[in-house]
Amino acid sequence: MKIETLENLFAEEMKDLYSAENQMIKALPKIAKSVDSDELRSILQEHVEQTHRHVERIEEICRRMNISPKGKKCLGMEGLIDEGNEVLDNSANTFPLDAAMIGVAQRIEHYEIAAYGAARAHARQMGFLNAVELLSQTLEEEKQVNQRLTDLALNQINVQAAMSM
């Protein structure tokens, strides 16, 4: 689809987010299995459940706007997941691996925060208030996960990784 209007752009953003979230549903369980920290694993597993709700919200927005969310692959998320897989393939020690996986997870969260923030701004500009509300819910959840990851890294995982040198 050519992006000629803000509405076209918003439709493309919804498709991209739909693809990104579905890629995360597949990738997060593998990441969660690879980490040593029970707390990190718990955050990642909870985020899988949350991500299912994110997909449902996108589907609701698309249904209301007569947009098919399918048919696009989010290349940005694909690249981030590939980077995460590379980290998994090249890490041996558990504490540095956990620190690395927090970094991977936070890059993913930052990507999603940017994407949801842009989509919400576009929805607001067009007066799609229901979409704004749903996108705001997801955006807030993404920010909360990012903060939990930051707190865990600073207060535990990075300290343990530094001590394992």
Residue 48, in any domain of the structure: yes
User: Does any domain span residue 60?
Assistant: yes
The band of 102, judged by pLDDT with boundaries at 50, 70 and 90, is very high
Predicted local confidence at residue 138, as pLDDT: 98
Written as six digits, the tokens of 97 are 């691996």
Residue 125 within a domain: yes
Report percent pLDDT > 90 for the chain: 85
Work out how many domains the chain is built from and give that number: 1
Q: What is the distance between the alpha carbons of residues 143 and 106, in angstroms, rounded to a whole number?
A: 10
Asked if residue 33 is part of any domain, the answer here is yes
User: Residue 87: inside a domain, yes or no?
Assistant: yes
Quick check: 20 pLDDT over 90?
Answer: yes
Whether residue 1 is contained in a domain is answered as no
- Say if 12 falls within a structural domain: yes
Closest by alpha carbon to 35, among 153, 162, 163, 165? 153
In the predicted model, what is the mean pLDDT of residues 83-100? Answer: 85
Residues 6+ apart with CB under 8 A from 119: 10, 13, 14, 17, 131, 135
Q: What is the pLDDT of residue 16?
A: 97
Whole-model pTM over 0.95: no
pLDDT of residue 134: 98
Q: Which 3 state secondary structure label does DSSP give 164? A: coil
**Mean of pLDDT values over 110-124:** 98
- Segments forming the whole domain that contains residue 73: 6-163
Question: What is the b/e burial string over 71-103, where b = at least 16 CB atoms within 10 angstroms of the residue's CB?
Answer: ebebebbeebbeebeebbeeeeeebbbbbbbbb
CATH code of the domain containing 140: 1.20.1260.10
Lowest mean pLDDT among 89-103, 117-131, 134-148: 89-103
